[in-house]
Amino acid sequence: MPDFKDIASGKFANSTKKMQELLVSNIMDLRKQGMAREEILLVLQALDMEDLILNQLGFQADIDALMLVYEKALTGMEMTGTVTNEVLSALLEMDRATFMREAGMMGENIRKQVARGVITGATEKEIAEGILNGAGGVLRSDQAETLANTGLNTFERNVTAEMSNFDPAGATYVYQGVVDDKTRDICLDMVSAGAMTREDIDSQYPGAFGDGGGFNCRHRWARETSSSKKLSDKKGAQTVISGKQKQGKWQTPQTYQQQVNG
């Protein structure tokens, strides 16, 4: 049975691709209208890319549709205690802002790529293909899909993190999830760390209580229970780490937040 998050992420990826194609086609129409290279560059320079993408090309509606799926993720949750509507609204708005910012950045990168194409005399097809393949750092549709999927998973983790306010101050957590050849170094490191308090997690792995290991992560911090040893392969993670260390393939990994903040 397909996951509604996969469907929503897939739709968002398709919308991103369509929007990019439409944007390039709109800009290249200027050439068809007989504008010279310099004129096209001047028009490009003056364009408000964020407004063009969000409002004129309707990408705002795609972000709104994705946010509706966020709300669906909450179905069945009992909002008691600290998980208030205000907290949920704040979490939703933060993610909405992320997608809007991403749309703006995408617009700037597309502007640069199209300008480069116009200068070098590339065809519309060549420029569009370059952009769709991620040239110049433009968000590819598969990256948009990952962004949407990860956003939804992180949102669920944040709601769960709110629930942890019912845990006593000294409660310990373990990092649950699979240890395999795809597991990131940061996730291996957190699995191998064993049980930790929330305070220790936040200081040693900043942001990881909510982000997990980052994009497409298959892990989560969970309260330590009598069954934790069966659900968190600490020894397995340690074995993989020491193997990597012997091969000289291990560097102290960083959390997603540490990477973003440099």
Give the residues lining the site for another protein (CB under 8 A): 1, 3-5, 72-81, 153, 156, 160, 163, 166-168, 176-178, 180, 216, 218, 220, 222-223, 225-228, 230-231
Residue 231 sits at the vertex; the CA angle it makes with 77 and 147, to the nearest 5 degrees, is 55
User: Is the CB of 96 or the CB of 223 nearer to another protein?
Assistant: 223
User: Is the CB of 6 or the CB of 38 nearer to another protein?
Assistant: 6
Least distance (Å) from another protein to the CB of residue 129? 17
Q: Which two tokens stand for residue 225?
A: 């229970």
Q: Which two tokens stand for residue 261?
A: 């903040």
Q: Which residue has the tokens 């509606």?
A: 61
User: Is the CB of 35 or the CB of 74 nearer to another protein?
Assistant: 74
Task: Please list the residues that pair with 235 across neighbouring strands.
Answer: none
For CA atoms 104, 22, 143, 111, give the dihedral sign: negative
Q: Which two tokens stand for residue 108?
A: 């700037």
Least distance (Å) from another protein to the CB of residue 103? 24
Least distance (Å) from another protein to the CB of residue 155? 11
User: Is the CB of 109 or the CB of 183 nearer to another protein?
Assistant: 183
Least distance (Å) from another protein to the CB of residue 200? 18
Question: DSSP letters along 195-234, please?
Answer: SEEHHHHHHHSTTHHHHTTSTT---EEEE--TTHHHHB-H
**Nearest-10 Cα torsion for 192, 197, 200, 204:** 30
User: Is the CB of 31 or the CB of 223 nearer to another protein?
Assistant: 223
Least distance (Å) from another protein to the CB of residue 152? 10
